[in-house]
């Protein structure tokens, strides 16, 4: 072990609590964060994806009422869609939304920033136009955060620790690498 200088760990449930949470909703100018969260949660209530629970829980925690979804569909590996309050709502990665004619470029810089902080980013469109993004992160367990901070101090001695995120639903399977101690929810 003394010759090892880098440790890479799949973070889900290993370093983290295993309970993803919505850490940001970033609307476009046409919508409020509450509207984005309400419509996303309305669609996600019908989904079985683990990140759907985070979105529905965030709406519930903020006392945001969801409504019924009609015409729900969830193409495998793409994202859910349905009709909420008479409007088509589409959630998923930028590639999926683009394939449906939605331009996500106006929030791409913010999406990249959120990914850089360890979040999974879900794009949302209403009636064919980008409405916002939702950032979801899994908080780091406190003992892990303390260990990561200790490892961070050792970096000057040639030691490195990284978490690997390969479950990013919005990233089309892209893998994100980021320092183990730089996550939301860490101490």
pLDDT value, residue 156: 53
List, for residues 22-66, the tens digit of each pLDDT value.
999 999 999 999 999 999 999 999 888 888 999 999 999 999 999
Query: How large is the average pLDDT for residues 141-153?
Result: 56
The single residue listed with the structure tokens 């760990």 is 9
Do the bridges between strand 69-73 and strand 81-84 make them parallel or antiparallel, or are there none, so unpaired? Answer: antiparallel
**pTM > 0.85:** no
List, for residues 113-146, the tens digit of each pLDDT value.
999 888 899 999 999 999 999 999 887 776 654 5
Q: Which of 5, 10, 68, 127 is catalytic?
A: 10
Closest CA to 133 of 163, 109, 101, 164: 109
Q: Write down the H helix ranges in 45-126.
A: 50-61, 94-99, 108-116
List, for residues 87-123, the tens digit of each pLDDT value.
999 999 999 999 999 999 999 999 999 998 888 999 9
128-130-131-134 Cα dihedral, nearest 10 degrees: 120
Q: Is the pLDDT of residue 78 over 90?
A: no
Domains in the chain with CATH codes: 6-14+140-179 (no CATH), 21-137 (3.40.1110.10)
Largest distance between two CA atoms of the chain? 61
- Distance in angstroms (rounded) separating the CA atoms of residues 52 and 61: 14
List, for residues 174-185, the tens digit of each pLDDT value.
333 333 334 343
Residue 10 designated active-site:
yes
pLDDT value, residue 86: 96
């Amino acid at each position: 072990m003394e010759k090892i200088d880098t440790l890479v760990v799949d973070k889900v449930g290993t370093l983290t609590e295993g309970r993803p949470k919505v850490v940001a909703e970033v609307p476009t100018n046409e919508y409020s964060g509450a509207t984005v969260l309400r419509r996303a949660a309305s669609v996600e209530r019908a989904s079985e994806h683990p990140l759907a629970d985070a979105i529905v829980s965030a709406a519930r925690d903020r006392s945001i009422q969801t409504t019924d979804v009609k015409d729900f569909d969830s193409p495998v590996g793409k994202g859910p869609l349905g009709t909420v309050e008479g409007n088509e709502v589409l959630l998923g990665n930028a590639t999926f939304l683009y394939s449906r004619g939605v331009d996500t470029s106006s929030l791409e810089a913010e999406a990249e920033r959120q990914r850089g902080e360890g979040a999974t980013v879900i794009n949302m469109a209403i009636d064919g136009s980008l409405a916002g993004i939702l950032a979801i992160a899994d908080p780091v367990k406190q003992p892990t955060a303390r260990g990561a901070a200790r490892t961070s101090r050792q970096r000057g001695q040639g030691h490195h620790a990284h978490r690997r995120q390969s479950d990013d639903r919005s990233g089309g399977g892209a893998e994100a690498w980021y320092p183990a101690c730089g996550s939301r929810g860490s101490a």
